[in-house]
Amino acid sequence: MVWVEVAMAMSVLGVLAYLRYTPVPPEGVSEREKRKVAIRMKTILVDMGAVLEFFGLTTIVHFLRAVWKYMSRHQEAILTVPESLLKVTETTFDGVKVMVLEPQSAEKRSAVPGLVYIHGGAFCFGSAASCFHITSHLALELGAVVVSVDYRLAPEHKFPAGLNDCVMATKYFLRHAQKYNVDPARVGIAGESAGGSLSAVVALKLGQERQNPGLKLQVLLYPSTQGLVLTASTYKYGPCEVQSVWEAAYITSLYLYGNRSKIDLVLANPYPAKLEGTHYMNFLDPSLVDPALPPLPPGRHVKREDIAAGDSDLEVALNPHVSPLLAEEEDIRGLPPTFITAMEYDIIRDHAIFYAKRLERAGVKVKMLHYKTGYHGQFQDFRWSEAGRGMMEDVLSYLKENL
């Protein structure tokens, strides 16, 4: 860990240089000054990780994991909850590591609701422990049993390993809900960022498999819902976002392929040209986000296996378990009621809007909130920012009413 401390010391010196040219968030974003600090520090750390990776000392992912572990080591005592309020158990569901959070009040009541929570972290970072401040708050406020899934991370475990973990853990919880005094007909799923993406696919898969009992609802917080277009056509904030386009391509390559070999392919954005005139592009119609734009004409319906024949990368991008937005209509119709959020200052803002529109057209009951001053990661910050607290209240309100 010595090299982590040295690197962090070097990063402090690097701040002075970055202050001169690093873009700052636009005027409208929530917590602008905090965003400014977060963006600059993240940029420095990613660049330092890239240097270390270039010299073969470590990788960007492993460097960032080590830094975040070092920085969070003093937070454990702050985030504990008295055992008299919350029983916390680390166990496995069909071999998948999970953290089960049971409010002590739940043991004294009739069957309570349950919630599967899938943490964010770009498919490469995070754990059940890193989102404990979220899951413990949800459990106590809802009086619900929360299962936080410690799914396997990329690049060590590429797609679909992490997804399979989430599916298996969710199915196990549904089958054994009564063991935790949970009503199996009142189990939902929720997640933010990558966790929102995984939650969407878990709900899709369980619907495809006619899981009974199924999920009562899904809560998708600024999820990625498609892999065809890295940045949707209406995205306009560029380097002012916490995640840059290059970083998004880097993470996509690590998640889907287990290495960085496809970064250039993702950045080249070749799929829209190949799919022009097909029904797939109607799901990404810019007019869905900006009604002032003319809608695309209806595209011809094509089968995934036909259009992707001979192109394994396109086949991956069209896979509905990577891109739930592109799922078949009958599978979309089978989804549970959905709460979904789009953040204005987010590189994947339009993913949520596209998905909400697709679900609404299929007859799914949808509540979408578009946070006009919101940023990616806002929910994670609920203990430290007013914007995050407001978002947490919105989520709790929906869950209390519908779960």
Active site residues: 193, 346, 376
List, as own/partner pairs, every contact residues 358-363 make where C-beta atoms lie below 8 angstroms and the sequence separation is at least 24, other chains included: 358/283, 358/325, 358/332, 359/332, 359/335, 362/329, 362/332, 362/333, 362/335, 363/333
Number of neighbouring beta carbons within 10 Å of residue 116: 28
SS3 215: coil
Name the phi and psi angles at 350, rounded to 5.
-70, -20
How far, in Å, CA of 307 to CA of 148, rounded? Answer: 38
Assigned token pair, 201: 């696919």
Tokens, residue 97: 């590591």
Nearest-angstrom CA–CA distance, 207 and 365 = 15
Task: Please report, for the chain, how many H helices and E strands are present, in that order.
Answer: 15, 8
- Give the integer Cα–Cα distance in Å for 360 and 142: 27
* R_g of the chain, CA atoms, integer Å: 21
**232 in Cβ contact with 354 (< 8 Å):** yes
Quick one: CA torsion of 89, 94, 97, 101, rounded to 10 degrees?
-30
Which strands, in side-by-side order, build the sheet including 145-149? 86-93, 96-103, 145-149, 112-118, 182-192, 218-221, 338-345, 366-375
